[in-house]
Structure formats: structure tokens, C-alpha cells
Structure 1
Amino acid sequence: MVDNLLSRIEELKRRKGAVILAHYYTLPEVQAVADFLGDSLALSIEAQKVEARTILFAGVHFMAETAKVLCPDKKVLIPVPEASCSLADGCEAEAFRRFRARYPGHTVVSYVNTSVEIKAQTDVCCTSSNALKVVESIPAEQPILFAPDRNLGAYVQKLTGRTNMVLWDGACHVHEEFSLEKLLALREEHPAAEVVAHPECRAYITAVADFVGSTAAILDYCGRSDAQEFIVVTEAGILAEMQRRYPRKRFIPAPPDDDTCGCNNCVYMKMVTLERIAACLENESPEVVIDEQVRRAAERSIRRMIEIG
């Protein structure tokens, strides 16, 4: 069944002149069919380079929106438009507009995990890969409004020592749920393992990690490190790419607070299946459509992010 779907998708890509961009958190079989696999920053950069007339984004909705903002002349398809994001859902455009009004004169830095309407209200976007660099590019005396992830914002605030940052109160449903008690117990079971964590985790998790970074940074670190075992404190989809790159190393997913809830998996990313991808390519729908005025406003903040790198 999977082999048939993979063959069908490859044939549809050729016939439709399409490429597939996929995030590390999608299902392993979805990652396998991607033309490019990456984190949010890498995918944003890659979207600009695509020469194909059609981009299918295997990921959540805000990622496909970002691709459309950067490539308005291309058809951008999203196989599961209802695949959202707890960070994006928790930062509604009108509520954010009212929040901004309380802090005039602040430079607005928004995580890429937001809707296009939030990006249109933003001075510069960031990802977990470059949030520190983005904040450091802003003069120290300039106050900042950082949204929507309070954990990432607090982590950057700690590294920079900036006291003039206001944080929107949002969090990722995956990274919020990791258990410190269970993580420490797992570390006792595997004393030679290094703990690698995403900065969207709570401060008490990043405080005990051997390395903190974005998904791409974690992948690179695991390749550089002499350690042979790693406890991975981020969305479990990354383990497929880790094992592919470093087959001689062992990667152990950190447990969430509630082992029965599957909380170390993004429910939205896992909605993207080969069946939905094949149907989307066949029908060339659903397609991402963005109001042009909103798109142009969002484009400025995204391009500033990419320029900073």
C-alpha cells in the first residue's frame, strides 16, 4: 500500500510539475517522499528557490502560508488545511492587535509559528534557529514585544539579559508537556546519554539539557558530539531523520507528563498522510490563497528574518 502511494505521488509530481517541502515533524513516510526536508527557517529559504510551478507543503497551515507569501506567483498546495498549530491558534489577529496597542514603540518580533495576519503586524519574524540572532540585531535599548511562544521568548531573554522584552503568553502543546521528573529518571537509566532539547520547552527542561537548539541545530549537534546516545526532548518526528543520518547512534524520545496522550507528537503534523498528499496533487487542491495586502505586509517581516539568517 505504502509503495503504491509513493509511486503514485512520484508520478503525480512529475506530471504536475510539483515539489514537496516537508517538516521534520511529519510522519517518516511523508518525510521520505519530500524533495526537501527541513525546519521552519530552512523551509522558508528553500521555498524561495523552488523553480517548479507548484509547491505542496507537507506540514501545518502557517508553513504553507509562509511559502505562498514568498512565492505569490506559484501554486501552493496544503494537503490538510485543518492542520493548525497550538501557537498560531493561541494568537488571534484581533487580540494581538489590541495587545500591541498596549506597548507602543516596541519592535514586534513574531515566531514563524503564527498566521499570516500576525506576520502582517510584525516588524521581523524569527524561527527557533535564529530567534537569538534576530533579537540581538535590535538595539539593546529598543523594547521588544515577542510572540507567541513564552518559552522561546524567555530562553532568548535569558541568553541576552534583556529586561525590556514583553512576552505574549503562548506555548507549543508538544514542548509544554515534557516531564522533568521522567526526564531525570530516563537520564539515570542512560547515564552516558546527552539530553538535547528544543527552546520551546519550559525553562526547567532546558536548564538540565546538554544542548538546546532548533530541530536543525539538534540534528547537527548529534552529528558533532562524541556521545552515542541522546535523549531527545522535542517532537518525536525528528527521530526518523536522526536515525537516518546517524544509524550507529541511539536516540531515545523523552516522555511527556502523560504517557497515554502521545503529547510528544504534534497531532497536527501527523494529520499529513501519503493519502492526503496524493489526493492534493491529483486535484491540485486545497490551495493556499492570501489577500494581497496582507501578503505584502507579511512578506516584509519574513524577508527581514531571512536576511538576518
Structure 2
Amino acid sequence: MVTDSMRAEVERLKREKDAVILAHYYVEDDAQDLADFVGDSFYLARKAKELSCATLVFAGVEFMAESAKLLSPEKRVLMPDPTAGCPMAHMVRRSTVEEARERYGEDLAVVCYVNSTTETKALSDVCVTSSNAVRIVGRLPQRNVLFIPDMHLGHYVAEQVPSKNVILNDGFCVTHEAIELVEVQELRAQHPGAVVCAHPECASWVVDEADYVGSTSGIIERVVSGAEEDYVICTVHGVHHEIDLRLAATGQQGRKRYYFPRTTPVCPNMAKVTGGKVLACLRDGTGETDVDERFAAGARRALDRMLELAR
């Protein structure tokens, strides 16, 4: 919980250090409450580049802070918890990319989900997020697409853009993949008429069960703007905070209900990021993020191309 004294100290430190706080929807509620901007990966990547400040405090996981540093190398980027990683970011081998390039030549685009390391981004032609992957893949001139590292998002993109030959990699989000179809079906049975909303990082059998498939921000918007009263949410539990805030702001709290699977989807790394850690890193200047300069130029190029093609 954010106290008045905590908020006052954060505001003072932001002024002193010319800092802005960014937070992902999946981090703890109090970290979101201290943020100047809360959003999904694509929104936060754009903000990181657009903002004119000396310091960014990125309440998220490692690849997000690295992306912010790549897009704004002149800024100091701080992570509230430097141990907050992303297992999927490391689930791709250089040899997978090299073998695909050798096989398909110029008619191959390597498309990299932003949930990846700086080195993996540097191996790629363009980055994507769940909110723009379908659009960007559809706009690429190459027919063959190696989609790394997430096979589930890649599978969803392949279904939405059948004109492309999408080659999948054996990577996945451990939290989204753990969402069980039987638990989703239980909720649908308990709440007839409920709209099932799923993130495309979920396994295909959960995505196939869904009435709506979209990014984190897309799922939040579907719940807030939808006409239905009941929703089943298949993504990380952290989105509940933003949904509650928006439902309250629009006078819908109590009229709408939403449910998560019985085995609550919690990202253990995002859960490390708390309001107390946001304050501590801003006060002490800890958790500074840097990127490997051997890969920075290539990774930055892939991120910049994402921002260009997503327009």
C-alpha cells in the first residue's frame, strides 16, 4: 500500500533527479500506483523513447529495462529489482536463427518478440509485441518468418496471417502456458455468457477457447468497454488493478465481474517489483541497467523498425 509519506518522497525524488516512473500492468499494485505511466510492453517502449528526462525507473522485468535503455541510450535506466528476469527471453539459440537464414536466404524475416535478450534482438530483423505482431508480420515483404522466442504467440500470428510461412521456436511464457484449459472451461460453465479473454502467449488450446484474444492492454479495454457483465481473464493476475481502477472511474464497479483461473496466473518475476523497491532504487540510484554494446546497435535497429512498422 502506498502511504502519503511514501508518495511525497517519490515526488520529491523525481523532481530532484529528473526521473519518470514506468510500470507494467503485471507488477505489484503499489508499484503501479507510484508510476507516472502504466501500460503494456509496446506502450512503455514508446514512452521510454518519447520522454524527455534524465532517469527512467522501469518497474518491470529485465528485458523491458534493457529495451528502454536501447531506445534511450542517453537516459539512466533503473530497475527496482534487478533479479526480475524473464525465462522466455533466454529460450532461443543463435544456431536456430543461423540455420533458418542459411535455408531461406533473403526470403526470411527473423521476427523477435520484445520479451527477449539484447543479443536475440540483435539477431533479428524486427521486434514485435503482442499488440502489434500480427500487423507487423503482415506488412513484411518476406514470405518466410522465423518467430522467436515465443511459440504460442508465433502460432497465433501464423493463424492470423496465413499468407506467411511462420517457423516456430521452442520458447514460451511459463506463467501463460500454465493456464489450464479445464480451469477456463470450469469458469465458463459456472458463469454462462461470460466472455473469455486470452493473451496470445497462452497455449493454443486456451486461445481456441477464447472469445477475445489480445494483448494485455487489449484485454483490459475489452473488459472495461464491453457490454457483458462477466469475464474470464487468461493472463497475469496483475491486470486486476488497472481493471478495478477503470471500472471505478467509469461507474461500472459492482456491475461487472471478472474471474481468473483457479490456479491464479502470477508471474514470480513481476511479483518481485513492489512500491517499496521503486522508492528505494529512485532514492539510492540502484539497479542501473546497461546493455552489451556488442549487440546494442542491432537490437536498437530491430526495436526502431518495430516502432516504424506499428504506426
Q: TM-score, normalised by structure 2?
A: 0.92
Q: Give the conservation status (yes or no) of the 8 Å contact 2:32–2:275.
A: no
Distance between the aligned counterparts of 2:14 and 2:21, measured in 1? 8
Distance between the aligned counterparts of 2:140 and 2:202, measured in 1? 24
Match of 2:261 among 254, 257, 262: 254
* 1:293 to partner: Cα distance: 4.1
Give the match for residue 23 of structure 1. Answer: 24
* 1:275 to partner: Cα distance: 2.0
Q: Deviations over 1:31-88 (max 9, x none)?
A: 1110001100000111111111100000000000000001111111112111001211
Give the match for residue 274 of structure 1. Answer: 275
1:288 corresponds to 2:295: no
1:128 corresponds to 2:124: no
Task: Name structure 2 gaps, 5 residues minimum.
Answer: none
Q: 2:270 is aligned with what amino acid?
A: M
Give the match for residue 242 of structure 2. Answer: 241
Task: Indicate the percent of aligned positions where both proteins have the same amino acid.
Answer: 40
Give the match for residue 138 of structure 1. Answer: 140
Give the match for residue 99 of structure 1. Answer: 96
Q: Give the conservation status (yes or no) of the 8 Å contact 1:242–1:251.
A: no
* 1:6 to partner: Cα distance: 2.9
Q: TM-score, normalised by structure 1?
A: 0.93
Distance between the aligned counterparts of 2:281 and 2:164, measured in 1? 47
Name which of structure 1's ranges 227-236 and 287-296 shifts more when overlaid on structure 2. Answer: 287-296
Q: Give the conservation status (yes or no) of the 8 Å contact 1:6–1:274.
A: no
Distance between the aligned counterparts of 1:83 and 1:181, measured in 2? 30
Distance between the aligned counterparts of 1:117 and 1:223, measured in 2? 38
The number of aligned residues is 298
Q: 1:109 is aligned with what amino acid?
A: V
Distance between the aligned counterparts of 1:2 and 1:218, measured in 2? 26
Q: How does 1:142-153 map to 2 (within 5 A)?
A: 142-153=143-154
- Look up the SS of the partner of 1:63 in the other structure: helix
Q: 2:209 is aligned with what amino acid?
A: V
Q: Give the conservation status (yes or no) of the 8 Å contact 1:129–1:213.
A: yes
- Look up the SS of the partner of 1:207 in the other structure: helix
1:222 corresponds to 2:223: yes
Distance between the aligned counterparts of 2:217 and 2:2, measured in 1? 27
Q: Give the conservation status (yes or no) of the 8 Å contact 1:175–1:202.
A: yes
Q: How does 1:141-180 map to 2 (within 5 A)?
A: 142-162=143-163, 164-180=165-181
Give the match for residue 207 of structure 1. Answer: 208
* 1:132 to partner: Cα distance: 0.2
Name which of structure 1's ranges 279-288 and 16-25 shifts more when overlaid on structure 2. Answer: 279-288
Name which of structure 1's ranges 155-164 and 207-216 shifts more when overlaid on structure 2. Answer: 155-164
* 1:240 to partner: Cα distance: 0.7
Distance between the aligned counterparts of 2:204 and 2:292, measured in 1? 38
- Look up the SS of the partner of 2:22 in the other structure: strand
Distance between the aligned counterparts of 1:29 and 1:285, measured in 2? 19
Q: 2:96 is aligned with what amino acid?
A: F
* 1:277 to partner: Cα distance: 1.4
Alpha carbon RMSD of aligned pairs, Å? 1.4
Q: Deviations over 1:242-261 (max 9, x none)?
A: 11112322221123xxx3xx
Q: Deviations over 1:203-223 (max 9, x none)?
A: 111111110000111122223
Name which of structure 1's ranges 120-129 and 99-108 shifts more when overlaid on structure 2. Answer: 99-108
Q: 1:38 is aligned with what amino acid?
A: G
1:119 corresponds to 2:116: no
- Look up the SS of the partner of 1:103 in the other structure: helix
Distance between the aligned counterparts of 2:197 and 2:109, measured in 1? 31
* 1:162 to partner: Cα distance: 4.2
Q: 1:171 is aligned with what amino acid?
A: F
Task: Name structure 1 gaps, 5 residues minimum.
Answer: none
Distance between the aligned counterparts of 1:6 and 1:197, measured in 2? 34
1:53 corresponds to 2:54: yes
Distance between the aligned counterparts of 2:100 and 2:173, measured in 1? 24
Q: Give the conservation status (yes or no) of the 8 Å contact 1:112–1:126.
A: yes
